[in-house]
Structure 1
Amino acid sequence: MSRFSDLKNIGVRLHHGDVSFDFVGRKKIWYSISALILVLAVGGLLGRGLHEGIEFKGGSVYTIQNTSASQNDARKAVEPFTDGTEAIVQKVGGDGLRIQLAESDADKTKQIAAAIAKDLKVAPDKVNTQVVGPSWGKEISKKALQGLVIFMILVVIYLTFAFEWRMAVAALVALLHDIVITIGVYALVGFEVTPGTVIGLLTILGYSLYDTVVVFDTVKENAKNITKQTKRTYSEAANAGLNQTLVRSINTTVVALLPVASLLFVGGGLLGAGMLKDIALSLFVGLAAGAFSSIFIATPILADLKERSPEMRLLAKKVAQRRASEAKAAKAAEAAGIPADQAEGHPDVDEETEADEDETVPAQGGAPRAGAARGRARTRPGGKRKR
């Protein structure tokens, strides 16, 4: 019961900083994992390439409903018309077939439809034919690419004005990361790229961007006036913001993946729903990649870019100096037998710490004044002076 209670309250504990995962500090691990996934995705894209649907490369599609013929029977029926290219035959529903050929000549499509009806023993009017010319497919590809480029430009402009240019760059890298992985998975599994794929891709880009913006908004709030303090660096503030939104990101992703998984594995796998399967795969891969990039990629990249600025470098130096001073004070308190909770402000601890600092203070001539603290009078409580 206590474990369940801990899991139930993990979001509250993360938000208040009682529990924290060092995502930004372990950025090299996440970068390495991401690089490996990207290499596999690019390798699949360059090796196998994308399996473009009829809408992009042109061709003809023949759909037959209520048939007992097998996929092999359909391949044999259209084999004389393939000219050496392999026909794509898919199951549609429980008793339907979908045959895709590269042939787009109107006269030949009639002959092919008649041959399919004869060999599969169905009525000619039961063979539904769809023909798409290659020029139309090229126009669709061009419009899809234009839409993607416009989307990216608008994202950069919005984030630059709403937040800052470093956040825009980090979000853009995360989006490109999601696109490459999604397209690479399509190449690896051999799924057909259709307009449904493009719709799913644009949908997951919006989702990934939304998740990243939510994290960045929390980071921006944590980093407000951060240069006026010396308790934590920008990377630590960014990591705190990431932890505060972690449970929300995970919950949102899981809830979104469940119905998409149903579309992919039930609708696409069992029912053979072609368009649903194309949309569902891009959504499933993209949602998972978007959740990964918003947590493990976007914020660490933002922290990297931010820490390169002069003001953040100076802040990191001040934080390090403060922590070194606190460590010396703790060590002095331990040597003096003073409890840790009473060390701050205790005269003995202050004298020890100040003595260490005075020994490194440069004199007017530039050389350290060794032992300067020994000649300085200090006042103890009660008005007594110690020399």
Structure 2
Amino acid sequence: MSKLGDLGARLHRGEVGYDFIGNRRIWYGISILITITAIVALAVRGLNMGIEFQGGAVFTTPKTDVSVSQAQHYAEMASGHDALVQQLGSGSLRIQVGGLDTEKSDQVRAELAKDLNVPETKIAAEIVGPSWGDQIATKAWTGLAVFMILVVIYLAIAFEWRMAVAALIALIHDLTITVGIYSLVGFEVTVGTVIGLLTILGYSLYDTVVVFDSLKEQTKGITKQTRWTYSDVANRSINSTLVRSINTTVVALLPVAGLLFIGGGFLGAGMLNDISLSLFVGLAAGAYSSIFIATPLVADLKEREPAMQALRKRVMAKRAAAAAKGESLDDLADDAADLGAEPAVVGQRGRRGRTERRG
């Protein structure tokens, strides 16, 4: 077995683990800092909206020896607006200029034909109105709202409302960070970006649901024992699924990283950046939030319940008694066992400990 596989097995059995819940204030602080940075970036820099949302013209030239930087300079001089130039695989250029109407686009095409030394009839011009982008944005917002409502309803039924609230907060956290990164990097927001943002919604919830399912199974009958608090079991649930979350996230990030850094960066296929950046940031943020945000939030909400507060008092009293006698928790019988009830089983470690006592 590999070292990573052995570590995963030990984490699942509860032999080793990291106190994610105990350090939750650190993770909350980091997330708040990142979220504030994203919001400030959006307020100060805004988003670099693509031509689909602001309207304008797209010019496609035949093969030319003019460089991308020169073509961008020519387009900006002819139009008086900022231009985005991308080199296509055939050696032709795709020039986007925002804020142009039909009459102005004809003038710009004539100027580009003269500057690029190509026939004007060989330059294809396409006018894009901002209303089309508005329709796409409206449908995207509608889809996002419907998705969140359905997710909250499903999680509240399948698990409980506290988990639904925590998952919703984690999802908003992931979307805010992703949009903030777009603002900081300055990548153009296109229809591909919207598709990427909608795609990461499911990925952001995947690891969260896995941890929640483990937590739900391990907390059945938790109030019948006095060895573990709800936060203890939540921490064990994170550790038992940690390696699985890391493996699935890395496998998902590798092809997206290839699109972003190799296709978009090294090979210069800028159109790949539109969707790959949103996928890359969203996948990473989703894995982070499922471990450091969603589950600690559930633990905080559950610990406010009277039953869980009473359980914590019993657990703390039992641990204090064990420490005073110099004994381990395995040497003390559960209250449920003392009363003749069937002891609750919480995690693998609880089963192993009781088997040894019976022997």
Which SS does the other structure have where 1:9 is aligned?
helix
SS in 1 for 2:15: coil
| CA distance in 2 between partners of 1:178 and 1:228 (Å) | 37
Deviation at 1:93, TM superposition (A): 4.2
1:26 counterpart = 2:23: yes
Contact 2:79 2:108 in 1 (8 A): no
State the 1:80 CA deviation.
Answer: 4.5
Which structure has the larger Rg over C-alpha atoms? 1
8 Å CA contact 1:93–1:272 kept in 2: the answer is: no
- Please give the secondary structure, in 1, of the residue aligned with 2:125: strand
Q: Does 1:75 align with 2:60?
A: no
Per the alignment, residue 40 of structure 1 pairs with: 37
Deviation of 1:131 (Å): 1.5
1:218 corresponds to 2:214: yes
Match of 1:379 in 2: none
How far apart are the structure 1 equivalents of 2:121 and 2:283? 41
- Structure 1 position 163 matched with structure 2 position 125: no
1:47-80 deviations in Å (ceiling 9; x for gaps): 1100001111111111235221123322343335
> Which of 292, 303, 306 is the equivalent residue of 1:307?
303
Instruction: Say which is worse superposed, 286-295 or 133-142, in terms of deviation.
Output: 133-142
Contiguous gaps of at least 5 residues in structure 1: 332-339, 346-387
TM-score, structure 1 as length reference: 0.81
Q: State the one-letter code of the partner of 1:30.
A: W
Task: Supply the RMSD in Å over aligned alpha carbons.
Answer: 2.1
1:249 to 2:245 alignment:
yes
Does 2:120 match 1:95? no
The one of the two structures with greater contact order (alpha-carbon pairs below 8 A, sep at least 6) is 2
Amino acid aligned to 2:61: I
Q: Work out the CA distance in 2 between the residues paired with 1:12 and 1:342.
A: 22
3-state SS of paired residue (2:326): helix
Q: Does residue 51 of structure 2 align to residue 54 of structure 1?
A: yes
Per-residue Cα deviation, 1:287-334 (whole angstroms, up to 9, x for no partner): 111111011111001101110111111111111111112122227xxx
Distance apart, 1:187 and its partner CA? 0.3
CA contact (8 A) 2:207 2:245 kept: yes
Q: Which runs of 5+ in 2 are unaligned?
A: 334-359
Instruction: Go from structure 1 to structure 2 and tell me whether the alpha carbon gap of 1:123 and 1:81 turns closer, same or farther (over 3 Å shift).
Output: closer
Which letter maps to 1:77? Y
Distance 1:109 1:283, change over 3 A: same
Paired letter, 1:112? V
Count of residue pairs brought into register by the alignment: 333
The percent of aligned pairs where both chains have the same amino acid is: 60
* Contact 2:319/2:329 (8 A) holds in 1: no
Whole-angstrom distance in 1 between the partners of 2:73 and 2:330: 88
2:322–2:329 contact (8 Å) kept in structure 1: no
Counterparts of 1:211 and 1:269, CA distance in 2: 29
Specify whether residues 48 and 143 from structure 1 end up closer, same or farther in structure 2 by C-alpha distance, changes over 3 A only: same
Q: Deviations over 1:88-143 (max 9, x none)?
A: 23344483433221234223323322321221122334423221112222222111
Shift of 1:343: 6.9
Cα distance in 2 for partners of 1:127, 1:57 equals 22
Structure 1 counterpart of 2:184: 188
Alignment of 1:168-183 (within 5 A): 168-183=164-179
Distance 1:192 1:131 in 2: 18
**Are 1:8 and 2:5 matched, yes or no?**
yes
